[in-house]
Amino acid sequence: MIEPKTKLIILDIDGVIVYSKNALNYLYSNLFKEFGYDFDKDLIPLVYGKTDKETYQTFVSLGYDIGSYEDYRNSLSKYKQEADKYYELTPIGNTVQYLSQRYKVCVATNRIRSSAERILNKFGILNFFYYVASATEYEPKPQPDMLLACVQKANVEEKDAMFVGDTKIDELAGKKANIKTILVKFE
The answer to whether residue 3 is domain-embedded is no
Stated as kind and residue range, the H or E segment containing 165 is strand 161-165
Split into its structural domains, the chain has a count of 2
The answer to whether residue 1 is domain-embedded is no
Give the model's pLDDT for residue 176. Answer: 98
3-class SS at 119? Answer: helix
Q: How far apart, in whole angstroms, are the C-alpha atoms of residue 7 and residue 162?
A: 8
Q: Which of 86, 120, 143 is the last residue of a domain?
A: 86
Give the model's pLDDT for residue 51. Answer: 84
Q: Which of 29, 56, 86 is the last residue of a domain?
A: 86
Pair 123, 155 in one domain: yes
Q: How far apart, in whole angstroms, are the C-alpha atoms of residue 59 and residue 130?
A: 35
The answer to whether residue 158 is domain-embedded is yes
Pair 172, 103 in one domain: yes
Structural domain span for residue 72: 21-86
108-117 burial code (b ≥16 CB/10 A, e <16): bbbbbeebbb
Average pLDDT per 10 consecutive residues for the chain, totaling 187 residues: 81 95 92 93 87 92 94 90 91 95 97 93 97 96 98 97 96 98 89
Q: How far apart, in whole angstroms, are the C-alpha atoms of residue 148 and residue 159?
A: 11
- Tens digits of per-residue pLDDT, 61-105? 999 999 999 999 999 888 988 898 999 999 999 999 999 999 999
Pair 71, 115 in one domain: no
